[in-house]
Structure 1
Amino acid sequence: MGTYRTKSALARALSVSAAALLAAGLASGARAQALDDKYWIELQGYFPSIDTDATISRTGAPGTDIDLENDLGMNKHETLPAVRLGARFADRFIVTGEYYRLDRNGSRAADRDLVFDGDTFAASTTIDSKMSSDIYRLTIGYLFLKNDTYEVGAGIGLHATDFELRLRGDVRVGAQALQTDTRRKSFLAPQPTIGVFGVYQPTSKFVVNGRVDYLSVTVGDYGGGITNIEANVAYRATNMIQVGAGWRYVAYDLEIDKKNYQGDLDYNFSGPTIFLRLGFH
């Protein structure tokens, strides 16, 4: 129930923010010159290929390295929406926020025993699985180079990812006996990042954006690193509206060390994006 309320609140907040920025832009006669935008809204379609490996261990029951796509039958390709908001302050400070969600299900007969969170899911039985990740990203950047055709900056940020992983199937309870059980793990992993970004506007009609974010650090019960790389090209269809396409790569190498379990998660996705961006001057 708490997770549902959080997601509902986030959706309301994004809707209110988008409406407020749109109203402000229309009221001010907005122009979509990327180097001069004070506020922007981006609605994105993302089409990634996905590769996921997860291990959840308990004391005395080391977990199996499970390939979620090959072992559990989860989709290797997905389509997901993303929302991004941005604002410029004092000419050189830029703040951006982003949300997107990846939600997958799988069902497959196991070709080997899979140990997950202390349960041994038996070979040849069907395992129903689910994995979802809600990704929230906030970055604050400073432009250290700026002229009429390009900007280059650096910033700090936070990737906070709300994961849920669930397996249901027949597990071993003795030498021969089986019983149906469900194992579920959910956790919110905060990962700070540092990065560089740039904008290049060679003509009044075309805008090129790129950024790289990375950091490997331990925060509380979570360690490992995250990498985010993206690049895109936009075309100014009107004074306010930009349409474009790009490529994005995101990789997690996450280690979890809780009192009652330990985990490893390698979670990579990459693919093309298309987007609609509204810029307000």
Structure 2
Amino acid sequence: MKYFILIIFLLGINATAISQEDEKHPLLTDKFYLEAGVFFPTKNIKLGADASAPEEGIDFGDTFDFNDNQATYFFNFEWRWNRKWRLTAETFAVNNAARATLDSTYVFDDVTFEKGSFVRAGIEFSLYRVFVGRLISSGPKHSLGAGLGVHALNVGAFIEGEVISNDDRIDGTFQKRRVSALIPLPNIGAWYHWAPTQKWAFIARADWFGITIDEYSGGLWNLAPGVRYQIIKNFGLGIDYRILLLSARVNQNNWNGNFDMNFSGPSITLHGNF
């Protein structure tokens, strides 16, 4: 009889644990989490490529009107391989190109584009983020964690057009200059999830780092507060406001210069969890 009572007691404890787990928002419990959506960033982009004056940059946002919102894809994937640890990967990209008559004189990759030159310019930017985090605190309605990661930045820019110049050798000729670099920026980060109900969850995430390594140096802030609504068991909707602040100094054979980029705006995503 006593063994029967013990078995019933253990089954009761297990049922209670399962019930409490079921009452949690899936964001706090499910093993796999996949987001796909659209990011609408406002951009502030300054970029320089000049070995003689590497700290001077061209304001691509103002000069070529790149500051307007542009819809771009956004993907995020999270794998919790056990109760404490998780692996996260995300990516988005921004590409712009436009024509303008220069209202100032600029030097870009050793070519002087005088005021009045009619040129076409563009930027290409891709971000790939990989993050490994560990749970610090968790409960029926919250989780807090921190970890280490890396932001791989694929940055490129070009200027091309008929050049008005004081240098007779290239006056009135077509010139094109292009620079690019793949820059890894390690970071530390933390996240917090609060889910007051099985349907609603509020999230916040922050990444930061500043580093100098040989041929490049840089810093970043990556902030993303948001809200999630669970439509059905394995499917939901998310709205975030993302802020990405990047700066770097590059000293490579194909680019000696610097950039300062800010991306901020809302994102709307659909997520699947299982």
Q: Secondary structure at the match of 2:175?
A: strand
- Judge which range, 108-117 or 254-263, deviates more: 254-263
* Distance across 2 between alignment mates of 1:279 and 1:105: 37
Out of 36, 42, 52, the position equivalent to 2:45 is 52
Corresponding residue to 2:26 among 20, 29, 33: 33
Shift of 1:32: 6.7
Pairs within 5 Å for 1:57-96: 57-59=50-52, 64-96=56-88
Distance 2:219 2:86 in 1: 24
Q: In the alignment, what sits opposite 2:141?
A: 149
Deviates more, 1:167-176 or 1:215-224: 167-176
Q: Give 1 or 2 for the bigger CA radius of gyration.
A: 2
CA contact (8 A) 2:127 2:154 kept: yes
Q: Which moved more, 1:68-77 or 1:46-55?
A: 68-77
Structure 1: which 5+ residue stretches go unaligned?
A: 1-30
What TM-score, normalized by structure 1, do the two folds share?
A: 0.84
Alpha-carbon distance between aligned partners in 2 of 1:80 and 1:160, rounded to the nearest angstrom: 18
Alpha carbons of structure 1 residues 64 and 169: separation in structure 2 relative to 1, 3 Å: farther
Match of 2:180 in 1: 186
1:212 paired residue number: 206
CA-CA distance at 1:166 after TM superposition = 0.6
What is the alpha-carbon distance in structure 2 between the residues aligned to residue 62 and residue 276 of structure 1?
42
Q: Is the 8 A contact 1:55 1:264 kept in 2?
A: yes
2:54 and 2:38 map into 1 onto residues whose CA distance is 38
Aligned partners of 1:63 and 1:117 also within 8 Å: no
Match of 2:16 in 1: none
| CA positional deviation for 1:202 | 0.5
For 1:266, give the aligned amino acid. D
Question: In structure 2, which of residues 193, 203, 212 is the aligned counterpart of residue 199 of structure 1?
Answer: 193
Q: Is 1:253 the counterpart of 2:247 in the alignment?
A: yes
Partner of 2:11: none
- Residue 100 of structure 2 contacts residue 120 of structure 2 at CA under 8 Å; is this kept in 1? yes
Q: Percent identity?
A: 26
Number of aligned residues: 249
How far the C-alpha of 1:63 sits from its partner, in A, is: 7.1
Work out whether residues 95 and 124 of structure 2, in 8 Å CA contact, stay in contact via their aligned partners in 1. Answer: yes
Where 1:235 maps in the other structure, the secondary structure is strand
8 Å CA contact retained: 2:191, 2:204: yes
Runs of 4+ in 1 over 3 A off after TM superposition: 61-64
TM-score (norm 2): 0.86
Shift of 1:74: 2.7
- The aligned residue for residue 124 of structure 1 is 116
Q: Which amino acid aligns with 1:120?
A: T
Cα distance in 1 for residues equivalent to 2:51 and 2:110: 6
Within the candidate set 244, 263, 266, 2:257 is matched to: 263
Task: Name the counterpart of 1:274.
Answer: 268
Q: Give, in whole Å, the separation in 2 of the partners of 1:43 and 1:261.
A: 33
Change (3 A) 1:63 1:148: closer
Per-residue CA deviation, residues 15-45 of structure 1 (Å, 9 max, x unaligned), is xxxxxxxxxxxxxxxx971110100110121
RMSD between superposed Cα atoms in Å: 1.8
**1:232 match:** 226
